Structure 1
Amino acid sequence: MSVIKARRERERAQRHQLIITAARELAEAEGWEAVTTRRLAERVEYSQPVLYSHFSGKDAIVRAVAIDGFGELAAHLRRARLANPELRQALHAACRAYLDFATERPALYQAMFVMPTDVKFAHAETPPPLRACFDEFVGCFRPDNARRELFAEVIWSALHGIATLSASGRIPLDIQDERLDFLVTQFIDAPS
């Protein structure tokens, strides 16, 4: 590959990431309704045609933000899990990390789990960053547990419910630790 072609590809990748970052920042500051191709083009200081050369539209941008978020969440979960070698503590820490992530990054969480995208869960086409998140929950169970993927899926689903209901104010935050203790106990003590 020529030096010029390599530089162009690097610049394209940087522009691509710049658009994703700008969309995420704008959504966190003003909500996803504020994220339009016109506003993004202004924010990244490129024309709309340049933006469309990277993404077909807002849905594609939301998808890219979500995939980026799954990579970030996977790293967050991994740090929490690895910091706690005992399985019960590892699962509790991963669950806490998940809920903290949802609370601290509401627009990103919305792109990942609430807004319509074509990102598939539990499928052959599941993006690697999303699979990495799931694997962090799977890693909280003993390798000889035949139901560890099922447990991970149900825990993730419960956490999503807790995160969504907490964010909307429908359940109080003051007993979040009690919820997590209950959830973890149901799975750590369940027969494998």
Structure 2
Amino acid sequence: MGIKERKARQKAELRKKILKSARSLARKNGWEAVTTRKLAEKVEYSTTVIYEHFGNKDQLLLLLREEGFERIQQAVEKALDPSLPPKKQLVEAGLASWKFAREKPEYYQVMFNLGGIHCPSDEESKGLQKAASVVYRILAQAGVADSESTFMNWWALVHGFIALDMNGQMPFSSEKMERLLKESLERLMTRL
């Protein structure tokens, strides 16, 4: 392996280490605690290295946001059982989103500006569009005429439950919240 290839590999590895450190700091202390100085300390480099790799903190957040959308899309697709009717798949998709948010809150927070983070974006996220396309595809299979309105109802339920749970605004356990989400999604599906 030549010097050029080795340097490129080392740069990619350091970039991954920085992203992993940002997620780790956010998971442990919240996104407000993630600063370029703390990231530099964690990866044992100067803040200049962070800026060389990402430009600024906003660019790092945007990258993590898109990565989060890719991961939630994969989690939802993996959870779907194609042998089930589309309405049941929509319930499964909602529960898979819930599970993803519970297991990877640091991603979900940066994806949707929760937990004290604001991830600026001038354009609509391509990752969000791809993740939403999974649900739109199921709605099409179900023969739903007004898929946009139905998607927004589905999304309001799922994201609302997740945001309330993440913000600690409900007097229920996460297990009860998940059960209530499932019941609410099932009721929505009976109206299709």
Same fold, TM-score > 0.5, yes or no? yes
Q: TM-score, normalised by structure 2?
A: 0.81
- 1:23/1:65 contact within 8 Å kept: no
| Separation in 2, partners of 1:153, 1:5 | 49
Q: Corresponding residue for 1:87?
A: 86
- Alignment partner of 1:133 out of 121, 124, 131: 131
What is the correspondence of 1:12-27 to structure 2 with a 5 Å cutoff? 12-27=11-26
Residue 98 of structure 1 and its aligned partner are, at CA, apart by 0.8
Compared CA separation, residues 10 and 82, structure 1 to 2 (3 A):
farther
Cα distance in 1 between the residues matched to 2:136 and 2:186 = 13
Identity %: 30
CA deviations on 1:120-166 (whole Å, 9 max, x unpaired) are: 6xx6x522x32221112112223453422442233223211111112
Which consecutive residues of structure 2, in runs of 5 or more, have no partner in the other structure? none
TM score, norm. by length of structure 1? 0.81
Deviation per CA, 1:59-81: give whole Å up to 9, x if none. Answer: 22222222111111111011112
Give the match for residue 71 of structure 1.
Answer: 70
For the pair 1:117 / 2:119, whether they are aligned, the reply is yes
Shift in CA distance, 17/83, structure 1 to aligned 2, threshold 3 Å: farther
Aligned residue identity for 2:183 = D
How far 1:175 moved relative to its partner? 5.1
SS of the residue corresponding to residue 85 of structure 1 reads: coil
How many residues end up aligned between the 2 structures? 185
For residues 178 and 189 of structure 1, do their structure 2 counterparts lie closer, same or farther at Cα, with a shift above 3 Å needed?
A: same
Aligned alpha-carbon RMSD (Å): 2.5
Gapped regions of structure 1 (runs ≥ 5): none
